[in-house]
Amino acid sequence: MSDLRGIIVTHAAVAQALVAAVGAITGVQDALSGVSNEGCGTDELAERLRQAIGDGPAVLFVDLPGGSCFTSSVRYAKQHAEIAVVTGVNLAMLLDFVFHRDNSPAEAARRAVDAGAKAIRVTGAA
């Protein structure tokens, strides 16, 4: 499998919960890492991102479009060519990502967004 990493960047412990869920469903333990903004400012969040990403290519999956997780992720990605950023992270997109890490960061991000969007539905509404 590729060295492409997925970094989930969220408020509080959402990232860690998503990492655990993907691992439980797929058995894949090395594809995703979680980064929380809890208890830190933008400089410390940038350092957490740097440590989680390392030297390889990555897709950053951010919880919301806006706020510190998003701005820190986009700022980091602008300084590193092999980084893509996706907002609105959900379990379906992460499951797709785990099994398609042989793609470039941009292509893996596009695939993940498509899978995540297809999973969002309204059912049983009266």
CATH of the domain at 71: 3.40.50.510
The answer to the question of residue 72 being in a domain is yes
Q: Are strands 32-36 and 5-10 parallel, antiparallel or unpaired?
A: parallel
Q: How many domains does one find in the chain? A: 1
The answer to the question of residue 104 being in a domain is yes
Quote the pTM value.
Answer: 0.95
Cβ-based neighbours of 9, under 8 Å, separated by 6 or more: 15, 35, 37, 49, 60, 61, 62, 63, 69, 72, 73
Place of tokens 């042989």: 102
The answer to the question of residue 38 being in a domain is yes
Query: Could you read off the pLDDT of 71-97 as tens digits, one per residue?
Result: 999 999 999 999 999 999 999 999 999
What are the start-end ranges of the E strands in 38-124?
58-62, 83-87
Is the pLDDT score of 111 beyond 60? Answer: yes
Res 85: pLDDT: 98
The answer to the question of residue 111 being in a domain is yes
The answer to the question of residue 126 being in a domain is no
The answer to the question of residue 124 being in a domain is no
Q: Which domain holds residue 85?
A: 5-118
Is the pLDDT score of 22 beyond 50? Answer: yes
